[in-house]
Chains A and B, each alone.
Chain A
Amino acid sequence: MYDIVLDCQSVHHWFGDQKVLYDVSLKVVRGQIVALVGPSGFGKSTLLRAILGTHPPASGQVLMNNGPVTTPGRDRGIVYQKYSLFPFLTAHENVAFGLMLDQSSLPFRLFRFWKWRNLRKTHLRLAAELLHKLGLGNSLHLYPSQMSGGMCQRVAIAQALILKPEILLLDEPFGALDEATREEHQQMLLELYQENLTEKQAGRNPPYTVILVTHELNEAMKVSDRVVALSKYWLWEDENHRESPGSTVVYDAVAPGPPRDGGAVLDTFLKQRSEIRQAAFQPTTRHKRGEFIRFWRECQEGKGRGVMQ
């Protein structure tokens, strides 16, 4: 019924004796913006790396469009909090870098120089167009060290988006930004989501599927249409474990969207935030694994938002 882009099937991961992920299953529908939250050190980035293909799971599997993920590939874009850009390239060269790698080989660039030169012009033009669209038209020739953190993250998002990946993975991309810049970037994500809805209404595939890893609950609920929480604070004793087997999905629900002052949506927003805290962040209020997992049920009941409607 839904167009599943990403399917994590019973993913387990550990480093030596340290158990990190336990039986994580997650299906992501094309066009969704999924916020992945949870306490620090509870496996969010590990799950992202498994999806990226740089650190495949110790057991279980990750499928992209039904194909297993074993290495990084251009169907998955990534934006990190740090080291998001290549420091030796200017803004538009950074954005064009993916096009270069995707559409030309090293021998082609070395031995068919004139053809490469023409192709390069096209790449740089496309990169410049995208940067103009994201409000960075005046910063094309700046190096990352000459740009602010917010500008760098915008360029990094453009760099990932220009290849039109099946899924965009954002690993706490706005974590180091000030409040105002962070809000600007959140707005940018909401605009991408709006494009998804427009495309879906026109009967086409929504172009942007995003997993946003963040520790900011407000951000998670504001920009996503679904919130998933990973945590170790669940009743693993009930499943016959003698010690914590690692983090698993303890919360999965439709996100309320941006809060509006004084309205019913604000109440829902605050209620859901306190629910996520209870499900994932408080060691004292452990609960059954499936207690707060209701996303697919909510969708069946017609409560899904955006592309799930």
Chain B
Amino acid sequence: MFRKPISWKWQSALGTAAILSLIAAYTALSHHRQRIDPKDRTVPSWHQIWSEGGLLKAFTPKEETGEIVVWEDFKASFVRFIVWFALSAVASTLLGLFMGCYSPLEAYFVPPLAFLSKIPATLMLTIFYVLVGLNFKFYGAMIAFGIIPTLAVTIYHAAKEDVPEELVFKARTLGASQMECVWSVILAHIFPKILEAVRLSVGPALIYLFAAEYIWGQENHGVGTTIRLQFHKGAAGATLSFGYLLLLGTLGLMGDSLQRWFQKWWCPWYAH
């Protein structure tokens, strides 16, 4: 068993079993709380999550605009996330790649990135609030500051250490220019690792997005998942909170699986 790969069927079965266990554990916990106090909403039942001011309401179109609240919230958060996360990932990739390939860039950027990567972006909230104000750029500043230093350093290490120099020498004997070596050899070689590093950055990026939305929610009545949850604070809003958490978790699982599938599809050699 030790470090032996298992079949795809087994993998799927075990993964599904783990999710079902989570659902069963939650159901048991909620049932236990409901038996003690049927009015308790700190761990609502599935029925309560759906019906009592929870998801059912969020999925019902508003009378005045016809918009579905949950769609409106998730769309707003998703747009903020995808725009700034994509830009940050591209910037990190370029920065890390060129740092790994060119020593002067490495010498110039490594110290500031090491410095910045030790400062949690959440501590920069007030500074960004003053610097960029509460607007679309505020989310960008939080996500970029939160993930670029660590992602760029991860990619820089991959570019510097994961590609055997023999492959670069060989490419040069095959007529590759320096830029061809960067693009066609080093980038191609570390691409699956870049995808993996980007996938692992999704979690931290979401934390910074939600932290920014939290601040925004305190100041404005905008739309967004965290902003909505702020309006439904406390035990009364727990049914909606759990509903949103459930949706976020499901979307996260789907997104993660999609990224894994893309990595396997784009880099089939990496799976072997």
Residues of A near any B CB (own CB < 8 A) = 52-54, 71-74, 76-78, 80, 82-84, 86-89, 97-98, 100-102, 105-106, 143-146, 159-160, 163, 165
Contact = CB atoms under 8 A, between A and B. Distances in A.
Given A72-B172, A101-B176, A83 B166 contact: yes
A105 B184 CA distance: 11
A101 B171 contact: yes
Contacts of A72: 169, 172-173
A52 B189 contact: no
B174 A83 contact: no
Contact of B164 (A52, A82, A101, A165): A82
Contacts of B180: 101, 105-106
Nearest to A49: B169
13 contacts: A52-B173, A53-B172, A72-B172, A74-B174, A83-B167, A84-B170, A86-B167, A86-B185, A101-B176, A106-B183, A144-B269, A163-B175, A165-B173
Contacts of B175: 73-74, 98, 101-102, 163
B267 interface: yes
A52 to B, nearest CB: 7
B3 interface: no
B188 A52 contact: no
Contact of A82 (B166, B179, B185, B188): B166
A163 B170 CA distance: 12
B272 A78 contact: no
In this complex, the member of B165, B167, B177, B267 whose beta carbon has the largest number of chain A beta carbons within 10 angstroms is B167
A140 to B, nearest CB: 15
Of B172, B180, B189, B191, most A-chain CB atoms within 10 Å: B172
Given A54-B169, A80-B166, A106-B180, A88 B267 contact: yes
Contact of B269 (A98, A143, A160): A143
Contacts of B171: 86, 97, 101
B268 interface: yes
Contact of B189 (A82, A87, A160): A87
Nearest to B166: A83
A87 B186 CA distance: 11
Mostly, the A contact residues are loop
A72 B165 CA distance: 13
Interface of B: 164-167, 169-177, 179-180, 183-185, 188-189, 191, 267-270, 272
Contacts of A100: 184
B92 to A, nearest CB: 21
A54 B164 CA distance: 14
A78 B169 CA distance: 9
Contacts of A146: 272
B174 A102 contact: yes
A115 B183 CA distance: 20
A76 B173 contact: yes
Nearest to B171: A101
Nearest to A109: B184
Given A54-B169, A159-B174, 7 more contacts: A72-B173, A73-B172, A80-B166, A101-B174, A101-B184, A106-B179, A143-B268
A71 B167 contact: no
A139 B176 CA distance: 25
B188 A78 contact: no
A105 B176 CA distance: 9
Contacts of B177: 105
B254 to A, nearest CB: 27
A65 to B, nearest CB: 16
A69 B80 CA distance: 54
Contact of A160 (B167, B173, B183, B267): B173
Closest 10 CB pairs of A and B: A72-B172, A98-B174, A145-B272, A102-B175, A83-B164, A74-B175, A83-B166, A143-B269, A101-B175, A101-B176
B173 A78 contact: yes
Contacts of A101: 171, 174-176, 180, 184
Interface core residue of A54, A76, A144 (most chain B CB under 10 Å): A54
A160 B172 CA distance: 12
A33 to B, nearest CB: 19
Nearest to B270: A88
B167 A74 contact: no
B170 to A, nearest CB: 6
